[in-house]
């Protein structure tokens, strides 16, 4: 009982301040919980402010962002923000999604884990093929918070 109680306390301490993205350590913890269950179980757009702080600290002038959440990216990122709709989720909401081949190379792309880990959405239903599978060829340059990955797309 002492061990389980200690584990419980330690998990709470180590999860701070990312409680929304918390998953049990056996399920991947904060860093890998999005692989099990994404969307509002992990990502509510809670890391938008952290992304803005990271971009400011790095001196990044512009950044493409495919963001899942209710926050307004332009409020936090200002003129750094360039919208990118690489997920087919946008098509379900009447907006055209963008093609990966059209992404302008030599730029940063930040993607919410909801879009990164999930399959494609179509009018016929859900597809197991991931919209962002092409990003497997890249290593994230940063993860300002559990719910956003940042890539530098150079080729």
Q: Which tens digits make up the pLDDT trace of 33-51?
A: 667 666 666 677 788 999 9
Q: Does pLDDT of 108 surpass 90?
A: yes
User: Rounded distance, CA 20 to CA 116, Å?
Assistant: 18
How many Cβ atoms sit within 10 Å of the Cβ of residue 52? Answer: 21
pLDDT over threshold 60, residue 13: yes
Amino acid 43: pLDDT: 73
Percent share of the chain, pLDDT over 70: 78
What's the pLDDT band for 105 if we cut at 50, 70, 90? very high
Statement: residue 127 has pLDDT above 60: no
pTM of the model: 0.81
User: Which three-class secondary structure string do you get for the chain?
Assistant: CHHHHHHHHHHHHHHCCCHHHCCCHHHCHHHHHHHCCCHHHCCCCCCHHHHHHHHHHHCCCCEEEECCCCCCHHHHHHHHEEECCCCCHHHHCCCCCCCHHHCCCCEEEEEEHHHHHCEEEECCEEEEEECCHHHHHCCCCEEEECCEEEEEECC
Give the whole-angstrom CA distance, residue 123 versus residue 135.
24
Task: Of 24-28, 37-41, 96-100, 136-140, give the range with the top mean pLDDT.
Answer: 136-140
φ, ψ at 147 (rounded to 5°):
-100, 5
Angle at CA of residue 37, ends 132 and 141, nearest 5°: 45
Residue-wise pLDDT tens digits, 57-90: 999 999 999 998 888 999 999 999 999 988 877 7
């Amino acid at each position: 009982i002492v061990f389980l109680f200690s584990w419980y306390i330690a998990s709470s301490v180590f999860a701070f301040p990312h409680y929304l993205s918390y998953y049990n350590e056996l399920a991947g913890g904060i860093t890998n919980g999005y692989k099990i269950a994404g969307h509002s179980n992990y990502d509510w757009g809670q890391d938008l402010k952290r992304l803005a702080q990271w971009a400011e600290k790095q001196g990044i002038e512009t950044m493409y962002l495919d963001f899942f959440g209710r926050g307004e990216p332009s409020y936090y990122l200002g003129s750094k923000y360039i919208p990118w709709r690489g997920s087919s989720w946008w098509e379900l909401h009447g907006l055209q999604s963008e093609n990966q081949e059209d992404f302008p190379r030599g730029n940063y792309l930040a993607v919410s884990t909801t879009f990164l880990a999930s399959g494609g959405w179509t009018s016929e239903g859900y597809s197991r093929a991931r919209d962002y599978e092409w990003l497997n060829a890249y290593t994230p340059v940063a993860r300002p918070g559990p719910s956003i990955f940042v890539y530098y797309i150079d080729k």
